Amino acid sequence: MTTLSYVPDDELRRARALQLPATERAAIIATLCRINTLYMIMRAGSGHLGTSFSSLDLLSWLFLEELEHPEVSGHADGDIFFSSKGHDAPGKYAVLIALGLLDFELIHSLRRLGGLPGHPDVGTPHMHTNTGSLGMGISKARGMARARRLLGRAGRIVVLTGDGELQEGQFWESLQPTANGGFGELTVIVDHNKIQSDIWVEQVSSLGDLEAKLRAFGWHVARCDGHDFAAIERTLAELKAVADKPKLLIADTVKGKGVSFMEGTALQPDDRLYRFHSGAPTPALYARSVEELLAHANALLAAAGAAPLRVEETPCPERPVLDGMQRMVPAYSQALLAQAARNSRIVALDADLALDTGLLPFEERFPERFVECGIAEQDMVSQAGAMALQGFLPICHSFACFMPPRANEQIYNNATERTKVIYVGSLAGLLPGGPGHSHQSVRDIDILAAMPGMALLEPCCEQEVGLALDFLVDRHAGPGYLRLVSIPCAVNYALPAGYALEDGRGVALTQGEDVVLFGYGPVLLPQAVSAARTLAERGVGVKVVNLPFLNRVDQGWLHAMLGDCQLIVTLDNHYVAGGQGEFLAAQIAQLGLTGERRVIALGVREIPFCGSNDEVLRAHRLDAASLAQELHAIVERSARV
């Protein structure tokens, strides 16, 4: 069993109380925060280490020495700090905990229900705005500053951004008006660690001459080493003196700073990917990391004449066993390779998520047909549309939470040209529950369903992934959206032998006469099938139907599936509003049915909770046990009427 170490509250207090020069104390606190950040992420099983470590020296300095009144969140004239990139949240939590600004016990609940969300949420003290979707920071900061001007309040707004984040159009959209308004209240710090997600920024989409660009927008620009506390202090003091312009500090940092083998600079020339962007390290690497960090902390303490650090130890929670689980994204990788091998019109476009969207095999095999766009979804989608006009079949890739909303107008613009572009949204649906609602995509069906001619599909198992891609490429004339769950799933059903996708149709996975339940995808169908099996034992028959088509249905097939059943349930891994269920209910209402049929919608009804996958399913009452209860209650109510 792996043992995890963290720095307890009293030790954090001891460090804060050390009578030392500010830069030396900050170095100690930052190191303790790295130990605690690592602890939180190991305990959670996921989280963004690399970017938390690159920004931790800056964060520590800001909260210890720079910000005024950070202890009183919302202090009328206090300084506001927030992170625009947001995935450095574990690092910020560690600092807030170290300063006593967050309840210490929260250290044990990163990415857990009721704990600390994977990305910033205003429900947590000292989190001033929700972030996690990139590029919004300066717009938000200017809004805050404008509000404070109207209220006659002082105080600075300090925003931390990533560097990959600077590829987003909104960042540049927000720069000029901020300069035009003379928003000297704003200080933006770019955590310039040079690696975005898993790859060098320079390789993904170079930022060019960043300083020259920012100055050309009328900003005051400074640059310093983001791990040199004296340099940070000096540079921030210089910036404070500039009152009439917004200010931007390019802080040169190292991704994963503080653990030798996690540092981006330790990448070997033939390393394709940086390995510590997100996700917890292996137990072995964890042990090496904490050893290094402890040694460093103790060296700093010894130099300060202080006693060595005492850490608390606790067992690492068991990781779920993933054997035998099905994975949609690798299945997609293979299906795409097969399609691309026989269809030279296919080009694949990516928005800085080639690893997560399964594109690395495609990039390796068809490099000339692979387009890396960086974090620039709008640019990617419009570019794809133009390639379609020139005869190609572009397939755009990103997370389901980002591409459909960020490039919504661009996707529509393409659709009005009546060309064919396929969009693949991975990380779709409520799970994983750890990253929080910025990454839980439960609105993508809604905002794509009305795109003219677009077919939306979500496969329910690896086998159906290839069928769905083939349908979109070979059989559907218009644009398409392939919705992919990214977590490994325990699939407790099998598609029938010889299963083929037929337009607007699906297949029953269980049989039953009391309820017909329509659903899709490998997260909720297994829960529904499990619930149906439970209910079968209690004499309640539930027919669970897999309908991979999210916005189209064959009405004859639908009618046949309904049979004489009076209770119809829809189940969405998505908000109920705008999901497959609402669409199906409307279709059923159009059928003109006899009797006393009722359609009941199950799905996500609240802003998604953050937590472990099991916690989140249960909290939304979408786990097998809750579904069984719910279905049973529906049948009982109906019998009573």
Residues 88-147 that bind a copy of itself (CB under 8 A): 121-122, 128-131, 133, 135-136, 139-144, 146-147
Strand partners, 251: 191, 224
Question: Does residue 447 touch a copy of itself according to CB under 8 A?
Answer: yes
Q: Are 462 and 326 in contact (CB under 8 A)?
A: yes
Quick one: which segment of 29-37, 555-563, 598-606, 613-621 binds a copy of itself (CB under 8 A)? 598-606
Q: Closest Cα partner for 605 from 624, 620, 627, 617? A: 620
Phi, psi (5° rounding) for residue 519? Answer: -155, -170
387 binds a copy of itself (CB under 8 A): yes
Candidates 4-12, 161-169, 254-262, 296-304: pick the segment binding a copy of itself (CB under 8 A): 161-169
Single out the residue of 109, 27, 37 nearest to residue 61, CA to CA: 27
Q: Which stretch binds a copy of itself (CB under 8 A): 177-185, 234-242, 318-326, 465-473?
A: 177-185
In whole angstroms, how close is the CB of 227 to a copy of itself at the nearest point?
27
Tell me the closest approach of the beta carbon of residue 163 to a copy of itself, in angstroms: 13
Amino acid in position 489: C
Residue 216 Cβ vs a copy of itself, minimum distance, rounded to whole Å? 4
Site for a copy of itself contains 323 (CB under 8 A): no
Which of 218, 317, 478, 488 is the binder for a copy of itself (CB under 8 A)?
Answer: 218
Q: How many helices (H) and strands (E) does the chain have?
A: 22, 20
Q: Degrees (nearest 5) of the Cα angle 569, 570, 573?
A: 145
From residue 545, how far is each of 506, 540, 564, 612 by CA, in Å?
A: 7, 16, 15, 27
CA distance 434 to 432: 6
DSSP 609: P
Does 449 bind a copy of itself (CB under 8 A)? Our answer is yes
User: Rounded to the nearest whole angstrom, what is the least distance from the CB of residue 641 to a copy of itself in the complex?
Assistant: 8
Binding of a copy of itself by 171 (CB under 8 A): yes
Smallest distance, Å, CB 355 to a copy of itself?
20
Interaction of residue 373 with a copy of itself, rule CB under 8 A? yes
User: Tokens 């337009």 appear where?
Assistant: 503
Within residues 38-57, the interface with a copy of itself by CB under 8 A covers none
Q: Is 213 in the site for a copy of itself (CB under 8 A)?
A: yes
Cβ atoms within 10 Å, residue 30? 29
205 counts as binding a copy of itself under rule CB under 8 A: yes
Nearer to a copy of itself, 12 or 403 (CB): 403
- Residues 6 or more apart in contact with residue 589 via CB below 8 angstroms: 599
- Tell me which stretch binds a copy of itself (CB under 8 A): 16-24, 97-105, 224-232, 368-376: 368-376
Rounded CA-CA distance 373/124 in Å is: 34
Name residues contacting a copy of itself, limited to 328-357 (CB under 8 A). 347
Site size toward a copy of itself (CB under 8 A) is 113
Instruction: Enumerate the β-bridge partners of residue 426.
Output: 399
Count CB-CB contacts under 10 A for residue 303.
12
- Which of 281/435 has CB closer to a copy of itself? 435
305 binds a copy of itself (CB under 8 A): no
d(CA 597, CA 558): 14
Q: Check binding of 169 to a copy of itself (CB under 8 A).
A: yes
Residue 367 in contact with a copy of itself, rule: CB under 8 A? no
Sole binder of a copy of itself in the list 114, 177, 496, 563 (CB under 8 A): 177
Query: Contact between 83 and a copy of itself (CB under 8 A)?
Result: no
| Site for a copy of itself contains 585 (CB under 8 A) | yes
One-letter amino acid identity for 605?
R
Q: Residue 250 or 384: which CB sits closer to a copy of itself?
A: 384
Interaction pattern, residues 407-446, with a copy of itself; x per rule: CB under 8 A: -xxx-xx-xxxx------------------xx----x--x
Asked if residue 313 lies in contact with residue 7, where contact means CB atoms within 8 angstroms, the answer is: no
By CB under 8 A, residue 581 contacts a copy of itself: yes
With binding defined as CB under 8 A, does residue 269 bind a copy of itself? no
Q: Tokens 């005492």 appear where?
A: 310
The residue within the footprint of a copy of itself, chosen from 334, 382, 613, 626 (CB under 8 A), is 382
Q: What's the CA gap between 292 and 206, in Å, rounded?
A: 33
Amino acid residing at 545 = V
Query: Does position 478 bind a copy of itself by CB under 8 A?
Result: no
Rounded Cα distance, 155 and 12, in Å: 28
Q: Smallest distance from the beta carbon of 285 to a copy of itself, in angstroms? A: 34
Stretch in the footprint of a copy of itself (CB under 8 A) among 1-9, 107-115, 245-253, 404-412: 404-412
Tokens of 484: 């992919």
Burial class (CB in 10 A: 0-12, 13-18, 19+), 537: exposed
Residue 116: beta bridge partners? 110
